[in-house]
Amino acid sequence: MTEITPNQENYLKTIYLEVEEKGYAKMSDVAALLSVRKSSVNAALNILADKKLINYTPYAKITLTEIGLKKAREIIKRFETMNNFFLHILKLSREEAIANSCKIEHVMSEALFDRISEFYEFTEEFCKQNPDYKKQLDSLLVK
Amino acid sequence: MTEITPNQENYLKTIYLEVEEKGYAKMSDVAALLSVRKSSVNAALNILADKKLINYTPYAKITLTEIGLKKAREIIKRFETMNNFFLHILKLSREEAIANSCKIEHVMSEALFDRISEFYEFTEEFCKQNPDYKKQLDSLLVK
DNA sequence: ATCCAGTGTTAGCTCAGCCTAACATGATAT
DNA sequence: ATATCATGTTAGGCTGAGCTAACACTGGAT
């Protein structure tokens, strides 16, 4: 069980999303996305490589290992779970929802993840069955 | 607007709660509560004192300044807001709820705080008015 | 009054994470 | 083929946060 810091999780996630979107990940793009210097990214990537989460050889494209992939997907799952809740139930703005999810995804427990997921599903369903509940919720939170 | 790290928030909160409970705060107790060494607490307290959040003179009892008090109360408010939600709506165990709240209290935004508060109030009220909703929720989350 | 245990402080180390500045590499355009 | 520019790497420094080990203060028991 490779331990990983919140920050390292964030690098991993960013690389994963870059690879998803463009087919590869470049250091300088990661630096731009996270608003840090290339040298900082370099240091971080060396740590992730040490932990066998990414393949990172000098001057080559960055790819994720199997474990890295798995871990990245977990992080993104946590992100999406919180984000859905914030966006569609609490009705936070896109930016607010994302900002909070990006922080919380790194500190939440498995149990919280499970409960939020269940609660989200339940609430969506309940809204469908009970338009009155939905209406009350909407009028409460949006103004 | 004095900037403060999540960790420093945690020290501040711990001191506040100690003072509340026992009338004063001692370094060694703070160290024990946070499971860190006294020297680490010392370093942290010097930073908080620099930032005018606590009064901290060698070998004396620790007290909070006015700004420190205000800040500590904000943190605790955030904690309690999340904790109530986790405990009474998501039905997390005490330990799980506390563990998550203690992390999230340091990273959540003002807007999230507001929305969670409103949502919590709304849901509690809705449960009272609609026992059926409450029953469904309870059976969903407790097992 | 003195000594000891508990409590508080200091020095000096490690690590993660950021920075700047300088250097190296590689791809491209002439 | 070489000069140039974007890109990647290395060196060296800073801060926050932790540690250990040694030292200093204080108050209570003898």
Indicate if CB(A63) is under 7 A from strand D: no
**CB-side neighbour CA atoms (13 Å) of A40:** 12
- B91 contact residues in A (CB cutoff 8 A): 115
Least CB–CB distance from A96: residue in B111, B118, B141? B111
A118/B141 touch (CB, cutoff 8 Å), yes or no: yes
How big is chain A, counted in residues? 143
Alpha-carbon distance B104 to B83, whole Å? 10
Indicate if CB(A5) is under 7 A from strand D: no
Task: Give the residue among B70, B15, B23 at the shortest CA–CA distance from B44.
Answer: B15
- B115 contact residues in A (CB cutoff 8 A): 86, 90-92, 141
DSSP state at residue A90: S
Q: What is the pLDDT of residue B2?
A: 77
* pLDDT tens digits, one per residue of B56-92: 998 899 999 999 999 999 999 999 999 999 999 999 9
What mean pLDDT value characterizes chain B?
94
In a mutational test of the A interface, the residue from B109, B134, B136 whose CB has the highest number of chain A CBs within 10 Å is B109
Does the structural domain A78-141 have CATH classification 3.40.120? no
Whether A19 and chain B come into contact, CB under 8 Å, resolves to no
Residue A35 pLDDT exceeds 60:
yes
- For residue A38, give the nucleotide whose C1' atom is nearest its CA: D8
Instruction: Give the mean model confidence (pLDDT) for residues A111-126.
Output: 96
Alpha-carbon distance B47 to B29, whole Å? 18
Residues of chain B within CATH 1.10.60 domain(s) are: 78-141
Task: Give residues 6-45 of chain B lying near strand C (Cβ < 7 A).
Answer: 26-29, 38-39, 42-43, 45
Residue A14 pLDDT exceeds 80:
yes
Q: List per-residue pLDDT tens for chain B, 143 residues long.
A: 678 999 999 999 999 999 999 989 999 999 999 999 999 999 999 999 999 999 999 889 999 999 999 999 999 999 999 999 999 999 999 999 999 999 999 999 999 999 999 999 999 999 999 999 999 999 887 65
User: B6-64 sits in which CATH class?
Assistant: mainly alpha
Dihedral sign, CA of B98, B100, B103, B107?
Answer: negative
Indicate if CB(A47) is under 7 A from strand C: yes
Indicate if CB(A93) is under 7 A from strand C: no
Helix axes A66-84, A94-104, angle to 10 degrees: 130
The torsion angles phi and psi of B105, rounded to 5 degrees, stand at -55, -25
Residues of chain B within CATH 1.10.10.10 domain(s) are: 6-64
Contact call for residues A90 and B113 (beta carbons, < 8 A): no
What mean pLDDT value characterizes chain A?
94
Distance A37 CA to C22 C1' (A): 15
